[in-house]
Chains A and B, each alone.
Chain A
Amino acid sequence: MSNDIIPNTYSQQPDERGHFGPYGGRYVAETLMPLILSVEQAWNEAKNDLKFWAEFHELAKHYIGRPSPLYFAKKTTEHFGGAKIYFKRDELNHTGAHKINHCIGQVLLAKRMGKTRIIAETGAGQHGVATATVCALFDIPCTVFMGAKDVERQAPNVFRMKLLGADVVPVSSGSASLKDAMNEAMRDWVTNVHNTYYLIGTVAGPHPFPAMVREFQSVIGKELREQMEEREGRLPDTLIAAIGGGSNAMGLFHPFLDEPDVNMIGVEAGGMGVDTDKHAASLTGGTPGILHGMQSYFLQDEDGQIQEAHSISAGLDYPGIGPEHAWLFDQKRVNYVSVTDQEALDAFQLCSKLEGIIPALEPSHAFAHVAKIAGDLPKDHIIVMNLCGRGDKDIFTVAKKLGVEI
């Protein structure tokens, strides 16, 4: 590993074979390999095509509602009495989270490749809803794989996907959760390789998906640079984002990776605690391995068997993480921490009451870490937290935890 060498740039990864240091790559069955290569070729052409980006930005503006506002959270700032806190409000996007950014990008690519069917995996259902949404918009048949357990606990999102015209396939193999939904999507892809595009929901999977999803999500960080310049005339000091697979964090961080004065913190889901066996913190509680087409960090036992993740937030409930985060973790460019279910639950309520914004449980993890550090920082220290999703989908989970019947 190249841990001892400080690279002169953090933003120019991966290499041409999709590696971020030892991580990333294309660990897929031979049947999929030619297709992965054709996705890469199509992506390389698209990303240099101004027309492709014109269409992306047109939809980003008028369909998603971008740019998302940069909001000064005055009451939160006063409450903690330290750093100046801003929210990047990606929860105001159409469909209520940042997922729509990479769904628009990838559906445009699928269309460009002449694919006539789209598949996706989903945990909480946010990526599934966003995928079903863009498939409705572009009139492409859509199948979403979802762990049978998640189908049960996320009924409103299952109904949304169906309303949008998607087929939702409950996956009962393995542990019937997000990782198994991803396995099942891979199995479908291998079977329907000729006409199908797999719209992966985070900065994970085989190359070029981690780099491509990052590129679509980095619209968040690029907007932030401009907005911060306008508001404060300088760069932010600290960026904070929640991490499951890592798409919203990568989108926020990437445009700032080569700014040495910008500190970045990724917040993993600590579940019942990283020292227990019930968490989803792949970096702070996992080890390097190979799964779902990539080398990265995973929750696994010493025999290399993948373990189940646990988090109050279904969107963070994945036993792996995108390979670029694995690399940034080893390089110590980004600081990765974890927040427990209880801390996230408290943050969920505090943010709702302070700002009149009900955050999703995912960014509630980020907010919980803001709560831990903001008070000790000087008043001229600027924190930007990615408020990557709204909490409407989580009210049932939270009510149950609080012992409230709705």
Chain B
Amino acid sequence: MNRIEQKFLKLSDKGRTALVTFIMAGDPSLKTSAEVLKALPENGADIIEIGMPFTDPAADGVTIQKAGLRALEAGATLRHTLDMVKNFREDDSETPIILMGYANPLFAYGMADFAKTASEYGVDGLIIVDLPPEEDCILREHTQQYGLDIIRLITPTTDEERLPKVLDGAGGFLYYVSITGVTGAAKPDPEALKPHIQAIKSKSKLPVVIGFGIKTPEDAKNMAGLADGIVVGSSIVEKIALLQGDKKDISDVSDFVKSLSTALK
């Protein structure tokens, strides 16, 4: 059983909704970013998504765009992101790590090398926003070899006819994008999401996690129980944006993550 399966099993025994937190690797600096990452599990993050910075994140809103540019400005590269996971794994062998980003930096690194290194360093899954099922074979042929999960996105526009295509080859969990839009945009309506989540659940045994537009502990509370997990990204990244350079005190970020986790209990 891999880390993602173990985590969801453990949480479902406790009847808890998973808190999936997103941070951008290298934001606002390589050092601070590593510290924030290390503090996430102890403050209640069940699963961690780490963004791989890219100059042209066409599916992200302003908050994540700026985080990526701050990280690149601070000298972040894909190699750094992988090293960050390697270092994290020295102290934490349980918390699943998902790398999220765009295809081009992986393409430049080499898909095969990337999959191999990511797997060796302790990455569990990948979400590559601009690799839909129609195109992700260029990555999947390597992730299969190294036991990495490709986590697929399902959106409000993924209809019944298309769903099987998206489920075929999906691993880890399913990421339900709650709105048509970019990250950090409008709030989803929990009631309206229910039938979509149920439709997905009826077709797949994989856990379903809801993302996009969940910003506050209150939002988290409203979503709890609707699916197996929720993702909070932009509002955490907004707190990180306030950390200046190598500022040591990351307690504002930690406290915020704690408040999200508490809201899900």
The residues of A with any CB-CB pair to B shorter than 8 Å are 17, 25-35, 173-175, 179-180, 182-183, 186-187, 190-194, 287-293, 295, 298, 300, 302-306
Contacts and interface: CB of A to CB of B under 8 A. Distances in A.
Given A31-B177, A34-B162, A187-B59, A300 B134 contact: no
B55 A173 contact: no
Nearest to B103: A290
A197 B248 CA distance: 47
B241 to A, nearest CB: 15
Main secondary structure of the interface of A (DSSP, over half): mixed
Contacts of A305: 53-55, 72, 105
A378 to B, nearest CB: 45
A174 B58 CA distance: 11
A34 B65 CA distance: 25
Interface size class of chain B, counting residues whose CB lies under 8 Å from the partner chain: 35 or more
Interface of B: 53-62, 65, 69, 72, 77-79, 102-109, 129-132, 134-135, 152-159, 162, 166, 177, 180-182, 185
A187 B135 contact: no
Contact of A304 (B58, B108, B134): B108
Contact of B155 (A25, A30, A290): A30
A298 B58 CA distance: 16
B159 to A, nearest CB: 6
Nearest to A207: B134
A29 B180 contact: no
B167 to A, nearest CB: 12
Contacts of B109: 303-304
Interface pairs A-B: 7 shortest CB-CB: A304-B108, A304-B105, A186-B58, A191-B181, A31-B155, A30-B153, A290-B103
B104 A29 contact: no
Contacts of B79: 303
A27 B55 contact: no
Given A292-B58, A303-B108, 5 more contacts: A34-B158, A174-B56, A187-B182, A304-B78, A305-B53
A156 B57 CA distance: 30
A108 to B, nearest CB: 24
